[in-house]
Amino acid sequence: MRTTTGIDPGPVMARPAGATAVDGFSVPGFDAVARLAARSLGVPLVSLVLNDGSAYWFTGGSGVPAHDPRPLHPLYLEMAHRLTAQVVLDTRHDERFRDVVLHPEAASAPVRFFASEPVFTLTGQQIGALCVMDAAPREELREAERAALRDAAALAGAGVVLRGYLGRTDPVTQLPHRNAFFEDLRAHLDGMPDVWVIAIDVAPVQRFNAFVRAMGHVYSDELLRAVAGRTQGWLPPDAHLYQVGAARFAAVLPGRHGQIDTARLDELVAQLRQPFDCLGIPLTLQPGVGLLKVAAAELRGGDPLRLVMSASHAAQQSVRGWAVYDRAQDERHRQEFFLVTELAAALTERTELDLYYQPRVDLDDGRCTGLEALARWQHPTLGLISPGHFIGLAERAGLMRALTQWALDHGLAQLAAWRRAGHDVALSLNVSSTDLGADLVSRLRSAGERHGVALDALELEFTEGTLMEHSETTRHHLEAIRQLGAGIAIDDFGTGYSNLAALRQMPATSLKIDQSFVRGMGASEHDAAIVRSVAELAHNLGFRVVVEGVETAHIYRNVLEMACDEAQGFHIARPLPAAEVPRWLAERPVLPTRRG
């Protein structure tokens, strides 16, 4: 990094506080680009401001410090994120420039003229802005000067990605990589309205990583070369294949291939699904082939490779193995990703999550035996998000453990408050299969001690499917939970395929009959027979039977005549916010009971 004066000034860099220092010449050719802009526009100062906060300054001898510890003025960061050019002939008429000085040092003259041009990579990604400044105002900026600034910004963008081009070829497959793909895509679109882009995902990410873990990189490298060879053999002679990811290839189909040949695509998928013999070991893949029609206008600021990857990912899950980009499906995936990030923030930083509580009543005497805690998410902009939606997202995104811990802490804290107020109730809490591990016991014990609640007032609900998986290991964990005093409920019983012998050996305390059967009792004798039979079986096995989905007086009267112990459903009470539970306990409706 250097600062020069006189005729041949060089670039120096200022960085925001806390940022990593970067060599001023880490943007190859920036000194030449800045010299071109300074001479063409007649300005003393040029700056390349990247949207990560780093800035490269070119000055004609004003001694800008190489490592200025002060943050960049917000104006520069604003310009670094703008997609359009900005020209301010006299900054005295623009409040944003009130305290902007020409150089980063405090004694410098104020900026009176300012212009910026956004900087893009060849992929169309906006990465910053090229700014030019002067201590004197201007009356105009001529078109030739505007063009010079645009050209300088384009060259600066090329310099930012130059290092990528120095390593243009993937070392394993010897195919050109992602930057070359975008460069050639632009060339194909020169003078053409649109072209088709094709992407080939070799295998789902987790499965490909499993190949590497099991067989090593030598095997996976040979596999990639074999997939590339088959794909190149399928491509038209004038099309080139690129490696655009660890296990992903892409190509631009030449202009005359304007229509999708479905038979040819079926042929490609069939070839890729044939076993690959790599180093004497055969392997069958699960490829996905995605297609996207790209127009030239979509390159600037767009990301066509992400879009075609969305199609290839969807294709991996389809029978046919190839798919054309579906905007609606892509938006759903983007929305899911957004919700996952929002849920992670809600669990750690915000107060959008809440627990509602649905009472359970004893059918013998009508008293409230406990309340089931149910998570609710009130997003600040999207409103109420269904638990059926966000709980599934939490499971797929690995957030279920955090969500369970949040519910456990909030539920036990509320239970402790109710018990201090004299309400002798228990709490039931849903737990997913991902939580049923060796550390669940210690988490439960710690939570009970933290909130001063005896765990015999807590019941954990596991689905039937969870309890039937890995029964030996599961039974060991459940027995440890029972030793803490907590109850265990088999939830949604009747939807799985239980092994009755395994069920009999499970250390569960209660069984909840799935509400889909209960709700159908009013219209279906078969559902009523199922509920009656399951209740009797559960009693014979020693479980306490809870009936969910009791939503009408007719269903309630029916379950009174069965071997059921407790009922839960809208006819008794809807899920209640915590603040309404004490009043419901005091004023709960009088329901018929077996004891009259």
Catalytic residue ranges = 548
Q: Identify whether the C-beta of residue 200 lies closer than 8 Å to the C-beta of residue 227.
A: yes
Phi, psi angles (nearest 5°) of residue 275: -55, 140
Using alpha carbons only, how large is the chain's radius of gyration in Å?
A: 33
Q: How far is CA 567 from the centre of its chain?
A: 38
Q: Using DSSP bridges, classify how beta strands 276-278 and 281-283 pair: parallel, antiparallel or unpaired.
A: antiparallel
* CA contacts within 13 A on the Cβ side of 417: 10
Maximum distance among all alpha carbons in the chain? 103
What CA–CA distance (Å, rounded) separates 39 from 148?
10
What CA–CA distance (Å, rounded) separates 399 from 394?
5
DSSP class of 448: H
Q: How far is the CA of 315 from the CAs of 138, 247, 253, 332, in angstroms?
A: 56, 15, 19, 16
Alpha helix locations (H) across 317-463? Answer: 327-348, 387-397, 400-420, 440-451
Q: Identify whether the C-beta of residue 104 lies closer than 8 Å to the C-beta of residue 65.
A: yes
Q: How far is the CA of 13 from the CAs of 242, 453, 482, in angstroms?
A: 35, 59, 63
For 63, left (φ over 0), alpha (ψ -120 to 50), or beta?
left
Written as six digits, the tokens of 363 are 């059918």
- Interhelix angle for 387-397 vs 400-420, to 10°? 130
What CA–CA distance (Å, rounded) separates 368 from 55?
66
- Burial class for 560, CB neighbours closer than 10 Å (0-12, 13-18, 19+): middle
- Calculate ∠ Cα 199-201-204, nearest 5°: 150
In 3D space, the residue among 129, 11, 144 whose CA is nearest the CA of residue 65 turns out to be: 11
DSSP class of 54: -
Edge-to-edge order in the sheet of strand 322-324: 241-245, 248-253, 194-201, 288-295, 322-324
